[in-house]
Amino acid sequence: MRFARLMKPALALALILVPTFAIAGPTRPSRDFGGEEAMERLRAADTNKDGAITRQELLAHRVKEWPRLDRNGDGFFSKDDLPGFAKDRWDNGRLVTMRQTYDTNRDGRISRTEFTSGPTPAYDLADSNRDNRVTEAEIKAAIAGLKRN
């Protein structure tokens, strides 16, 4: 149980916070990434608590969260950052989709730059009016759309 609690924050971030809709593109979420959860995670990036998330807030949030992914401090999110019992998950499901989305140089790991400056598919999906601000109403509409799919 202790290992599960330790693993949960890192995997939640790795699997949900940023790389949500990966391969499917900005208009259709990938089931591998649990799009509804990604919309919920967008709320954490609203650092000024004004009820809207700017792209700048989202990217700043990624910078702040990077150390939770790069657990060994080598500058990359890789299989080495997963606890031993979870290393077999590296080549399955969500983590594969995450690498396909963020590992732009295809070296099998995600660098800090690839993570902090990478695609923002959940944000792009939620920002329906393309004003670079995601409001609570847009998040709710995106979640409703995901539930219909």
For 52, phi then psi, to 5°, come to: -140, 145
Q: How far apart are CA 81 and CA 100, in angstroms?
A: 18
> What is the pLDDT, as a whole number, of residue 140?
85
Q: How far apart are CA 1 and CA 9, in angstroms?
A: 14
Tokens 């399955």 locate to 92
CA distance 100 to 30: 12
Rg (CA), the chain: 15
The tally of domains found in the chain comes to 1
pLDDT above 90 as % of the chain = 48
What pLDDT was estimated at residue 36? 62
State the residue range of the domain holding 125: 2-148
Report the pLDDT averaged over residues 63-88: 94
Average pLDDT over residues 33-59: 80
pLDDT confidence of residue 64: 93
Residues 6+ away with beta carbon under 8 Å from 105: 111, 114
